[in-house]
Structure 1
Amino acid sequence: MNKQRFTDKFLAAFFILVFLKVIGMLAQLFHESFWSVIGKLVIFLIVAVIIMMVLKNFEDKEKEKESGRKGRSGGDNFYIESSLFDRIRNKYEELARQYIAEQEYKKAAKVYMNLLQNHYRAAKTLEEGGFYNEAAVIYLKKLKNRSEAAQCYEKAKQYRKAIDLYKELEQKEKVGDLYREINDMKNANAYYQMVADDYVNNSQMVKGALVYRKKMELPAEAQKVLLKGWKENKDAFNCLNNYFANISDVKKLGQEIRHLYEKTTSDQKITYLEAMKYEFRKSPDLQKATRDIAYEIIAEKTATRSEIVNELKHFNPDDDMILKDISRYKTGRNRMFRN
């Protein structure tokens, strides 16, 4: 390898000397005749070309020898270089860990950024140290990760910057939350409304109602959405269950249970019966109303769904005779069908 490098250097130096010699001989035109100078120049160039050809031939032979040596030792060189690289990398890793242990998070981040070229770990290290703005910049500029950057700006209470990023990410509810954080309820409710509309349009009525109730503090609107879900059979049971759960006054709840039942269609009554099981257990004041409704539904559906009589036990938990009555009813019904 050293011989080859020497040959390369010699050729470069020789070329420079030839170039300077040619310039020097041309300068003699001011002192000697034109043809005399040209004659000397031609002879010199011929000699120079011959020398360069000899040197080139020598260089080619050296390259062939060097190629053969590389074929035998190339694998060893690779492992040596890899081992050296790993040792250097481990030293940098150790240095970064030492800085973190000393709570020198910015220094550790610089090691990760500049020496290890690991931007993600640099950002995480800054985030761990509470340098949220600096971490956000790395997430955004180096990693193109708007989500992580937005979270860091939020932790840094840079709410405006976080809002802009969450808007780009189309996280509308998060945008609303941050507007509420800075007491901008007009913009907060505008984004919450978008979220509620999206839920309702996707038939996710309970989630839409929760946005109205918890985020916008509009319980009446939440109830409207739940009723809409119940009437349109969009997650009907959960809508009805949540609708009743949002009525805290037991007397009003009892009235609403009866009022809503009177508007219930025949194909909704089985679902209504399921809801009555939950309402029955809420309060002793609701038991009579819910039991009466359950009896009405069971009586109406017995002709087509005989197994519905089993539901009676849910509304008579302390009546030991009810199971015997149900059993007698089933036995009598079976005998009737056999005859």
Structure 2
Amino acid sequence: MMMNKQKFIDKFMAAFVLLAIFKLIGIAAQLFHESFWSVVGTLAIFLVVVFIILLVITSLKAKERNERSSGKRGSSGGSFYLENALFDRIRSKYEELAEKYIAEKDYKKAARVYMNLLQDNYRGAKTLEDGGFYNEAAVVYLKKLKNKSDAAVCYEKAKQYKKAIDLYKEMEQKEKVGDLYKEINDLKNAHTYYQMVVDDYTANNQMVKASLIYRKKMEKTEEAQKILLKGWEEDKDAFNCLNNYFANIFDIKELKTEIRDLYRKTPDYRKTTYLDAMKHEFRKDPKLQEVTKNIAYEIIAEKIGTRSEIVNELKYFNPDDGVILKDISRFKTGRNKMFRN
């Protein structure tokens, strides 16, 4: 027990000496960019701190010697407290040293303090990254922390795209791989990986997301529209597919024609969904109001016999018509009376 405590104190003494050496080197380096008296002041403060810590260490060693000579066994609590106090004091000095190096923008030295003295590899890597040493940070993330994600980000920042691509492939981040291939103008590989992403989305019935890859990443507008139409026709997120399909048609005349033609092909069970889409298109442009209103009236007339509540949809196509609201109210009142009778 006593021998372990003695070894503990000796280790702390060695750590403190190492800290003192780092600090003295730092103070000496200040002579190159600060006044002599400023450096002397810093040295004086440091010597006071050294004196205090040496007193603590000396006191602790003396206490251990006394316990050893007197054969005491029951004072481990006080010794443990002193050990922790000493550990915390030295650790705080390492923290101050790292912060000082960061303030001086000497990020590599700060990172070494974090990794070698404080055994904190993550803060070391983050410090290197903050200082712009992306390659060095990536190595720490990858080798010491096994963190492929942060390592890939650092390689990307360092423009080491091939290294980043390899890591993103390992993590199966296909869209990111495509983005980086596109960054280095390797469009063939970029489109290969983007197509993988599209295939994954369509397999999960995420047609809108698949269309966005086609349109925004691959610049294949026709393919984007085809996949949205496929989603609508196969009832896979039908409303959002239809809404996005119409949103990608910017010519109003062409859009009016497409709205009519697509409605003619719409099966009966999906007409209420088409009606919801018409509400959105009605508000988009005054030139679309006639065609969308006519389709809406037709759907409402077909469905009112089995779904009386659909009459409420008329108000979306007559926002400024107070009479239509009264007609809807009279219709609902009359229908309720009919059911009561």
Once residues 95 and 334 of structure 1 are traced to their aligned partners in structure 2, the CA distance between those partners, rounded to angstroms, is 81
Query: Does residue 69 in structure 1 map to residue 88 in structure 2?
Result: no
Q: Cα distance, 1:85 vs. partner?
A: 1.2
One-letter code aligned to 1:258: R
- Paired position in structure 2 for 1:161: 163
Judged with a 3 Å threshold, the aligned counterparts in structure 2 of structure 1 residues 77 and 246 are, in CA distance, closer, same or farther, namely same
- Paired position in structure 1 for 2:149: 147
Q: Cα distance, 1:102 vs. partner?
A: 0.6
Once the two structures are superposed, the pairs formed by residues 231-250 of structure 1 within 5 Å of their partners are 231-250=233-252
Secondary structure, counterpart of 1:267 in structure 2: helix
One-letter code aligned to 1:187: N
Once residues 297 and 67 of structure 1 are traced to their aligned partners in structure 2, the CA distance between those partners, rounded to angstroms, is 101
Once residues 325 and 175 of structure 1 are traced to their aligned partners in structure 2, the CA distance between those partners, rounded to angstroms, is 58
Judged with a 3 Å threshold, the aligned counterparts in structure 2 of structure 1 residues 67 and 290 are, in CA distance, closer, same or farther, namely farther
1:32-74 residue CA offsets vs partner (Å, 9 max, x unmatched): xxxxxxxxxxxxxxxxxxxxxxxxxxxxxxxxx9599352122
Q: Cα distance, 1:324 vs. partner?
A: 1.3
Once residues 182 and 67 of structure 1 are traced to their aligned partners in structure 2, the CA distance between those partners, rounded to angstroms, is 73
Once residues 315 and 69 of structure 1 are traced to their aligned partners in structure 2, the CA distance between those partners, rounded to angstroms, is 97
Q: Cα distance, 1:224 vs. partner?
A: 1.0
- Paired position in structure 2 for 1:81: 83
1:230-286 residue CA offsets vs partner (Å, 9 max, x unmatched): 111111111110000000000100100010000111110111100000000111111
Once the two structures are superposed, the pairs formed by residues 1-339 of structure 1 within 5 Å of their partners are 69-339=71-341
Secondary structure, counterpart of 1:304 in structure 2: coil
Q: Cα distance, 1:338 vs. partner?
A: 3.6
One-letter code aligned to 2:123: R
Relative to the length of structure 1, the TM-score reads 0.79
1:168-222 residue CA offsets vs partner (Å, 9 max, x unmatched): 0000000000000000000000000000100010011110110000000001111
Secondary structure, counterpart of 2:209 in structure 1: helix
Once residues 153 and 321 of structure 1 are traced to their aligned partners in structure 2, the CA distance between those partners, rounded to angstroms, is 66
Q: Cα distance, 1:117 vs. partner?
A: 1.0
Once residues 67 and 337 of structure 1 are traced to their aligned partners in structure 2, the CA distance between those partners, rounded to angstroms, is 104
Relative to the length of structure 2, the TM-score reads 0.79
Once residues 264 and 202 of structure 1 are traced to their aligned partners in structure 2, the CA distance between those partners, rounded to angstroms, is 24
When Rg is computed on C-alpha atoms for both structures, the one with the higher figure is 1
Once residues 334 and 139 of structure 1 are traced to their aligned partners in structure 2, the CA distance between those partners, rounded to angstroms, is 70
Q: Cα distance, 1:107 vs. partner?
A: 0.6
One-letter code aligned to 2:101: Y
Q: Cα distance, 1:328 vs. partner?
A: 2.0
Secondary structure, counterpart of 1:71 in structure 2: coil
The alignment of Structure 1 onto Structure 2 pairs a total of residues equal to 278
Once residues 129 and 303 of structure 2 are traced to their aligned partners in structure 1, the CA distance between those partners, rounded to angstroms, is 63
Once residues 211 and 268 of structure 1 are traced to their aligned partners in structure 2, the CA distance between those partners, rounded to angstroms, is 27
One-letter code aligned to 2:225: Q
Q: Cα distance, 1:114 vs. partner?
A: 1.1
Aligned CA RMSD, in angstroms, stands at 1.8
Once residues 249 and 67 of structure 1 are traced to their aligned partners in structure 2, the CA distance between those partners, rounded to angstroms, is 97
One-letter code aligned to 1:261: Y
Residue ranges of structure 1 left out of the alignment (5+ in a row): 6-64
1:293-332 residue CA offsets vs partner (Å, 9 max, x unmatched): 0001000000010011111111111222111111222233
- Paired position in structure 1 for 2:41: none
Once residues 300 and 248 of structure 2 are traced to their aligned partners in structure 1, the CA distance between those partners, rounded to angstroms, is 27
One-letter code aligned to 2:229: L
